[in-house]
Each structure stands twice: as structure tokens, then as C-alpha cells.
Amino acid sequence: MGVIIKTTGASIPANRITNDDLAKKIDTTDEWIRSHTGIGCRHFADEGKVTSDLAAEAGKQALERAHLAPEEIDVLIVATATPDYFGFPSTACLVQAKLGLTNAAAFDITAGCTGFIYGIDIAGSMLGKFGRKRALVIGAETLSRIMDWNDRATCVLFGDGAGAAVLEYSDEEGNGILHSWLQAKGDGALNLYLSQPSRDSAYVRHPFEKDPSVIMNGKNVYMFAVKAITDIIEHLIAVSGFNLEDFAWIVPHQANARIVQAAAKRFGIPETKFYMNMEEYANTSAASVPIAFNEMAEKGLLKKGDLVMTMGFGAGLTYGGTIIRW
């Protein structure tokens, strides 16, 4: 008995922005971005398209591939740092309406780039109880809307997109989500945050001097991420009893190729065991892992029985990982 990932889906905006495109607007180069991050381009949502639109498109694809009617979903979780509305209503409720998930509980979670990892853990703990059998977990972002385009070190890192997974409570033994570990480091919160008019409250009633935007201490966040990915791998190996050689794939949050390269060197494993696609999509925060899963599934890289480790690390600061038998 356990919770399996039944199908995946994704929504990638058609508007593809290369490093050279950015170099026409800000003081940067393709060589600098690639050498520091491994990123070659990113996709931005068209004007008028919001996070719930991308989330609904990804969710619809996952549902269709699972051959499920909308009313067969019992739980909808949307992980996002860029909701349609700050405060309420939740983006999940908007997605529920767009997809017609009339029987689903719906709520958002805010765990930064670890959002999808948190989401599948929460969904997994809910299924198999009180008649709940299936969940739709979505990571979706429109990060291009909250970039400070004068901050050239940060604005080049992020892109928009959504990824989704249908989770199902199953009688299959030894498959699905086998282990999960969620952590947070709140004392590092102000290394990565969304600006607001007052540090005291998001709800002060005077106008913004400038639009809310991502504020990041790049050096500190990088150091946190390198340690986080190491801690996650070490912990999951210790509690699971598996060896790194047992894993077909390690699917990290797609933040920076150098973070993955550091982990590969630390554990003495080839970089090819890590699936990376940040060259095409950049950092899509909570969407990065499910977009990677979907791309891998479409390429036939995820085979039944494959052992997969996945992980996230980001704003909060949050981090965590999961072991899945596909």
C-alpha cells in the first residue's frame, strides 16, 4: 500500500528568452550567465496569463494522461511563490474552478523552490484516509513578474512555467513515495525574499515606492543550497538503506548547474546521474522538479521500477527530498 505518481503534465510558455536577448536589455553576456549558472534561456508567460492559467494547463494534461475525470480528484495542492492574489483567494481554488475539480479540497503552499517536494509529501499523507484516493499536485510560477531588472545577478536566473503530477493511493507494494524529509532554516529567511513596503507588515496602507521584487543574497543562498543538497542526499541514503548506485536518477531543483556539480564531486558520482534542464528553462522555483519529471517521462527516461531521488531548496529557507519508486 502506498502513494504512486501516476502521470505528469507541464505548461511551458512559448515566449523563449535567450541570454543574448537579455543582454540587449541589461549588462550581461551569454558567456557570463552560462559559466556561472548553466542557464541558456528561460520562458516568460505572455501578458495577461497568470499563474493559475499555467497551473490549470499543466494539471489538465496530467489528468488527461491519467484518464481521470475532474471529479475523481480528492485533493488539489498548488505550490507557488507567485499566486494570482496575495493573501486570498488561493491559486488552488482558482485552478479548481478552471479544471472543474468539484470534489477536491484545494489549498496553496508557500515553500519556495521546495514547494513541490512539500506538496507531494503533504498529498501522500492525506491519501488513503477518509476516502481520499487521488491528488493533483502542481508547482507553478510567473517569476518574470517579480524580477528587479536592475539586479543583473538575480534577474537572469528565473523563468516561468508549471508542472503537475497525479498522485494515487495504490495497493502496489514497494512502489511510489518511499521516503520523504522536509526541513526549514528560518533564520536565513531574509537571504531570499519578496520586497514589500514595510518590513513590519505586508498590509501597510501606503503605495509601493517600486514594484515588489525578488531580493536575494546570492552568495549566502548558493552556500545554503550546496549544503542543503549534500544534507538531503546523506539523510535519505541513511534512512532508506539504499546506496547511490541503486538510483536510476537524481532529480534536483533546477537552480544552478554549479550546485549539482559540487554535489556530484562530493559524492563521487557522475553528473549524468543528475537530470538537469535549467539550460532551457532556468530556475522555475516550485515548478522546476515537476517540469523535469514531465520532460523525463515524455522522453521515456522514467521506467517502471526505477528508483528516483528528488530534492528542492529555496526561499524560507526550506529544503527537503523524496525517494520514489517509479
Told to judge if 253 belongs to the known catalytic residues of this protein, a careful annotator would answer yes
Residues of the chain with CATH 3.40.47.10: 2-173, 177-325
Please give, one letter per residue, the 3-state secondary structure of 197-218. CCCCCCCCCCCCCCCCCEEECH
Give the three-class secondary structure for 92: helix
Cell numbers representing residue 105 in the block? 479540497
Cell numbers representing residue 23 in the block? 543582454
Of the candidates 19, 191, 256, 283, the residue annotated as catalytic is 283
What pLDDT score was predicted for residue 209? 58
Q: Which amino acid is at 320?
A: G
Of the candidates 113, 191, 256, 294, the residue annotated as catalytic is 113
Told to judge if 283 belongs to the known catalytic residues of this protein, a careful annotator would answer yes
What pLDDT score was predicted for residue 212? 84
Q: Which ranges in 79-114 belong to alpha helices (H)?
A: 91-99
Arch. (CATH architecture) of 2-173: 3-Layer(aba) Sandwich (3.40)
Overall CATH class of domain 177-325: alpha beta
Q: Which helix (DSSP H) or strand (DSSP E) does residue 321 occupy?
A: strand 318-325
What is the mean pLDDT for each group of 10 consecutive residues in the chain (326 residues)? 94 98 95 96 97 98 98 98 94 98 98 98 97 98 95 95 97 90 97 77 58 91 97 98 97 97 96 97 98 98 97 97 97
CB-based burial of residue 75 (10 Å sphere; 0-12 exposed, 13-18 middle, 19+ buried)? buried
Decide the pairing of beta strands 307-314 and 318-325.
antiparallel
Of the candidates 41, 253, 256, 294, the residue annotated as catalytic is 253
Cβ neighbours for 203, distance < 8 A, ≥ 6 positions apart: none
How far CA 76 is from CA of 40, 58, 168, 247, 299, in Å, comes to 33, 13, 12, 29, 26
Told to judge if 113 belongs to the known catalytic residues of this protein, a careful annotator would answer yes
